[in-house]
Chains A and B, each alone.
Chain A
Amino acid sequence: QKEVEQDPGPLSVPEGAIVSLNCTYSNSAFQYFMWYRQYSRKGPELLMYTYSSGNKEDGRFTAQVDKSSKYISLFIRDSQPSDSATYLCAMSGKDSSYKLIFGSGTRLLVRP
């Protein structure tokens, strides 16, 4: 079993929809939870991160962490065609924060 599981998609939604992207994990030692966005032919870029549990909002993006369920989510409101990309979750422990464990990524397509 992988430490981090992520549905590969693709997920296709119409412009303006609310998008929910999710990951589950098995390692209870994870403390940092990150979302990276990767456009085609580019390297990933950090979108948001959360330390421990709770929610974090940044514009149209909201990251949620539920440590009791070992489940994290990224919500995108009012999705735009420019949001079309692959979204990778990543996690790490407090004492090994440099060693990120990545999900395999969910490909998102926002249709105009």
Chain B
Amino acid sequence: DVKVTQSSRYLVKRTGEKVFLECVQDMDHENMFWYRQDPGLGLRLIYFSYDVKMKEKGDIPEGYSVSREKKERFSLILESASTNQTSMYLCASSPRKRSISLHFGNGTRLTVT
């Protein structure tokens, strides 16, 4: 079974802090994704990566950056956290040839105060 592990279940940060959300997958998947999930808005893609050191912007990249130095690890960075970034963040991975089959972590609930 694919396992996607997100480092924290809950995080509380202050406005202006730099925040790191970490994600690790153990199935050698090429693709990795960061989504945020908000009530009524569903899942929205922030960034994705299809290879080490490669990244592509999703639909809502503003205020975020990512890092993928190793194949199994994909980090989401909030450069200066703001209250409108309070959300559930979900990391996912998928194999290159079956990219629609996303395997999600259990999410990090981030609260910015």
Contacts and interface: CB of A to CB of B under 8 A. Distances in A.
Contact of B42 (A32, A41, A104): A104
Contacts of B50: 98
Contact of B102 (A42, A44, A103): A44
Interface residues of A, number: 24
Give the most central of B33, B35, B43, B103: most A CB within 10 Å. Answer: B43
A62 to B, nearest CB: 19
Q: What is the interface residue range for chain B against chain A?
A: 20 to 34
Given A43-B4, A43-B106, A97 B90 contact: no
Nearest to A41: B106
Interface in A23-55: 32, 34, 36, 41-46, 49
Interface of A: 4, 6, 8, 32, 34, 36, 41-46, 49, 88, 90, 92, 97-100, 102-105
Interface of B: 4, 31, 33, 35, 39-45, 48, 50, 58, 90, 92, 94, 99-107
